[in-house]
Chains A and B, each alone.
Chain A
Amino acid sequence: MSTTTAPAAARSPRGIALTAVVILAALGIPLVANSYQLEVLSEAWFYVLLCLGLNIVVGYAGLLDLGYAAFFAVGAYTAGLVTLKLGLSFWLSLPLAVIAASIAGVVIGGPTLRLRSDYLAIVTLGFGEMVRITVRNLSVTGGASGLVGISRPWLFGYKLNSIGSYYYIFLALALLAVVASHRLERSRIGRAWKYVRSDEDAARAMGINHATIKLSAYVMGAIFAAIGGCFYAAKMTAIAPETFTFNQSLLILLGVVLGGRGKIPGVILGAIVVVVAPELFRDIGSMRMLVFALSLLLIMLLRPAGIWPERWRWG
């Protein structure tokens, strides 16, 4: 990481120390955790990636997207089809998934991003369901039962088989997502997303093409989800349409809003809470979802801008 793009946090000694401690702790967890805990934490890192991707759309560009799981599905099914039907390497599915997600993003976003936020929410919701219903009804995607038997990828001569290896894969993806988000946020394009969110007409008067800027946020978010989807397919070896429901989109959105839209540490925290909290409440049995929902309500009432404090700086 070069000095000009390093997080402001990482420039201060305290920030470097804090970041290093968190990363070391995350790296060390597999030494002490059991496989159930690793499973939950891998999912948490995976959600960090998805939430940071959606944060670009919702947090930076201010576009309410209720169909984000569709891009996650595009990635997962690309990986499934590339390895199962075409018999190619898993790694080839990554660039193909990026291309597929970009095309899907442009096709969906092009005509719809002109809409005002509430209409956009409805259209993206519809799009999310369309993708799920389409893969459910195509024979090439395995219909309702989905794709089964996706082969595990090889990396540096090792077959990625164990939960430990996926823990590290998703941790690495989450870290890459943090770095990419951070760099985007402080870039020409990232600022343009915020200008359009803040005041579309003023942004246009400054020479910013609001249509292409919104589209670029939408496509960038789609790419994050598609990359995540590829690794999700590799980890699960089986994917089914019911993974990519509206509930899934909502859960990812929840992570973003809960932690604090547009704030990277907040979104990370939100993603982890969304995955880990229901597991912590597992002991209370059937009341679990109710307690989870109530605590979410409370958080949103008490901290409408998200858990992460506005002025608190990392380091």
Chain B
Amino acid sequence: MALLEIAGMSLSFGGIEVLRDLDFAVEEGSITSLIGPNGAGKTSVFNCLTGFYRPRTGQITLAGGRIDRLAPHRVTRLGLARTFQNLRLFRELTAAENVMAGRHCRTGAGALDAVLGTRRHRREEAAIAEAAQRWLGFVGIPDAAERVAGSLPYGHQRRVEWARALATEPRLLLLDEPAAGLNASEKEELIALMRRIRDELGITILLIEHDMGLVMQVSEHIGVLDHGRKIAEGTPDKVQNDPLVIEAYLGRDEDEASEAA
């Protein structure tokens, strides 16, 4: 059974359909991508998966349990973590504090524990600090811990966001355009990091991406969205040669023919 299953999902805003009857599945242990032209509804899919939007119809199941009626924080607790298309770091806090956010849902000390300095509080704080440092190390920026997140170079901010998502101990990691704004060598590092997350940590990855080269290189399975509908699905080879996909990206043949004429 697939780790994530989307069945018959539709989403509309004030009568405008954003997603139409979408079926899609992500196999456990895979790196899967969702591609499509601008405005195809890719980020809307992520927002439905993470509980920020409530789909009008359809079901979303994560490891067999329904998540489509849950609030975002509950979805995260069940093992689904995300990054944002435009970085959403806590900019005025340090990189370590940012990553510590990911540990919130896996710890439980309350305000009273903190005020009284209970053993539970002290033990958890030590573990949270250790985890933050470990995840920053995993993404390759161990020295950034005490730096204010907003002051880090862009590529490092991206890594902080990844470390923060990983710290929630997800089973499935959703990456929203992770390569946006990165140069070629940074993209290579990103691909290597994605493979390490999957191979070393056993975390399944679902990614939305504009960069076709990156998607084709890294994904095992690709779904293509256009105008809120899935128009193709399959291996990179299959999708690349699908006439519907080519049409969606390049426009229809007749247009090209008439332009050429």
Residues of A at the B interface (CB closer than 8 Å) are 1-2, 4-5, 180, 183-184, 186-192, 194-195, 198-199, 201-210, 216, 220
Contacts and interface: CB of A to CB of B under 8 A. Distances in A.
B115 A206 contact: no
Given A187-B125, A198-B93, A202-B84, A208 B111 contact: no
Interface in B31-69: 50, 52
A205 B90 contact: no
B73 interface: yes
Nearest to A56: B111
Contact of A202 (B89, B100, B113): B89
30 contacts: A184-B115, A186-B125, A187-B111, A187-B114, A187-B121, A188-B114, A189-B109, A189-B111, A191-B97, A191-B100, A191-B104, A192-B101, A192-B104, A194-B90, A194-B93, A194-B97, A198-B91, A199-B89, A199-B90, A202-B89, A202-B90, A204-B76, A205-B52, A205-B81, A205-B82, A206-B164, A207-B76, A208-B101, A209-B71, A220-B111
B77 A207 contact: yes
Contact of B125 (A188, A194, A210): A188
Contacts of A188: 103-104, 107, 109, 114, 121, 124-125, 128
B102 interface: yes
Interface string B107-132: 10111011101000110111010000
Contacts of B92: 198
Contacts of B121: 187-188
Given A4-B125, A4-B126, A205-B76, A189 B101 contact: no
Contacts of A5: 117, 122
A2 B122 contact: yes
Contacts of A209: 71, 73
B171 to A, nearest CB: 13
Contacts of B125: 4, 186-188
Nearest to B76: A207
Contacts of A183: 114-115, 117
Contacts of A202: 84, 88-90, 101
A194 B149 CA distance: 14
B105 interface: yes
Given A199-B90, A206-B76, A187 B109 contact: yes
B204 interface: no
B88 to A, nearest CB: 4
A15 to B, nearest CB: 18
A190 B126 CA distance: 15
Interface of B: 50, 52, 71-73, 76-77, 81-82, 84, 88-93, 97, 100-107, 109-111, 113-115, 117, 121-122, 124-126, 128, 164, 168
B110 A189 contact: yes
B114 A206 contact: no
Nearest to A194: B93
B93 A204 contact: no
Contacts of A180: 115
User: Which 6 pairs between the two chains have the least Cβ-Cβ distance?
Assistant: A207-B105, A187-B114, A207-B76, A198-B90, A202-B88, A204-B72
Of the candidates B92, B117, B124, the one having the most CB atoms from chain A within 10 angstroms of its own CB is B117
A164 B70 CA distance: 56
B101 A191 contact: yes
A218 to B, nearest CB: 12
A5 B168 CA distance: 25
Contacts of A203: 90, 101
A201 B52 contact: yes
Of the candidates A187, A188, A195, the one having the most CB atoms from chain B within 10 angstroms of its own CB is A188
Contacts of B102: 206-207
B114 A190 contact: yes
A225 B200 CA distance: 50
A201 B89 CA distance: 10
A220 B110 CA distance: 11
A121 B250 CA distance: 51
B108 to A, nearest CB: 8
Nearest to B83: A205
B107 A206 contact: no
A192 to B, nearest CB: 6
A215 to B, nearest CB: 11
Contacts of A198: 90-93
Contacts of A1: 117
A206 B105 contact: yes
Nearest to A190: B114
Contacts of A192: 101, 104
A184 B114 contact: yes
A190 B124 CA distance: 14
A183 B121 CA distance: 10
B99 to A, nearest CB: 10
A13 B90 CA distance: 32
Nearest to B90: A198
B101 A216 contact: no
A178 B115 CA distance: 11
A187 B106 CA distance: 14
Nearest to A184: B114
Nearest to B97: A191
Contacts of B124: 188
